[in-house]
Amino acid sequence: MAVLDHEEVSEMLATYSLDALPPEEAALVEQHLVDCPRCRTELAELREVAGLLGGSATSPPEGLWDRIASELTEPAAEPPEAPPLRPIGSARKARAWRVAAAGIAAVLLAVLGVLSYRVVNLDNRVGQLQSALGQHGPSQQVTLALANPAHRTVQLTAKNSTTHADVVVLPDGRAYWVDDDLSALPPGRTYQLWALSSGKVVSLGVLGRSPESVPFRVERTMTELMVTAEPTGGVPAPTTAVLVAGPVSL
C-alpha cells in the first residue's frame, strides 16, 4: 500500500472530515493518523468546528454554535478593584499593588492572545471545510447551510393532502431543496420550482424526477414558492396544477 507524507495528508484532512474521500484515499489517511498526533489534533479541530458535516442533511448538534460563540465572545474576568487610598507612607503597599496590576495586565493580554488565536483558528478551519464542500457537490452544501444559525426552513405543503417539501433559505438568498415526500416522476417528467415575484410567477429551475439537495436562489421580491410537474427540461410557465406551495421571504 502506498504511503502519504504529512503535507499530502494535511491537505486531505478537511475532505476526510466530511467522509468525502474515496475509500482507498481514506485508508491512506487513516494509516497516517495512527502515527501522527499533529494530524489527529487537526482532524479533531475540523470535526469540532463542523460538528455535523458529513453526507446527510440533518440539523446541527444542539448548542454547537452557541457553545462556539460563547467561547469566542465570553468577556474576560474583571480585574479586582484597586484598594482604597492610604495615607502617605504606604509606599510599600503601593508598590505591591503596581506589581499586582502589572500581573493582571499580563494575564489579560494572555487571555486576549488565546481568544485571538481561537478566532483565527476557527476561521481557518471553516475556510478549509468550505473549500472541501465546494469540491463535493450540493449535498454537503446543504449540511453547511443547515449548520448556519441564521438559516430558515420553509415548508411547502399541499392543500388536500399531507404531501410536503422542505427548503432551507439563508439570509443572502441562497436556498436548497432539503427533503420531500413527493413520488418519483416517470421518465420524461420533472418537478419544476416556481416563485411568485412582484405578482408574477417566475421559474426558479427544474428539480428533476426525484429532487435531492437542489440549490436555487430566492430574491427579496419573492413571496411564495410553488412546485409543479412538467415535461423534462421545464417550461416557461406552469402547465399543471400546483402540487405543494408555501410562503417565503428574506
* pLDDT reported for residue 59: 47
* pLDDT reported for residue 55: 38
| C-alpha cell of residue 45 | 479541530
How far, CA to CA in Å, does 175 sit from each of 106, 144, 146, 148, 188? Answer: 47, 12, 10, 12, 26
Which candidate, 228, 222, 224, 223, places its Cα nearest to that of 244?
228
Please identify every stretch of the chain with a pLDDT value under 50, giving residue numbers as ranges: 52-60, 68, 72, 76, 85, 88-89, 92-94, 96-97, 99-100, 102-104, 107-108, 111-112, 114-115, 117, 119, 136
* pLDDT reported for residue 99: 45
* pLDDT reported for residue 166: 95
Answer for the pair 51, 147: CB distance below 8 angstroms, yes or no: yes
19: left (phi over 0), alpha (psi -120 to 50) or beta: left
* pLDDT reported for residue 232: 92
| C-alpha cell of residue 191 | 418537478
* pLDDT reported for residue 72: 47
Answer positive or negative: Cα dihedral of 29, 34, 38, 40: positive
Whole-angstrom distance, CA of residue 183 vs CA of residue 195: 21
Q: How many CB atoms lie within 10 A of CB 27?
A: 13
Q: At what angle do helices 91-134 and 137-147 cross, to 10 degrees?
A: 150
Does the predicted TM-score (pTM) go above 0.85? no
What value, to the nearest 5°, has the Cα angle with vertex 217 and ends 245 and 66? Answer: 90
What three-state secondary structure class fits 45? helix
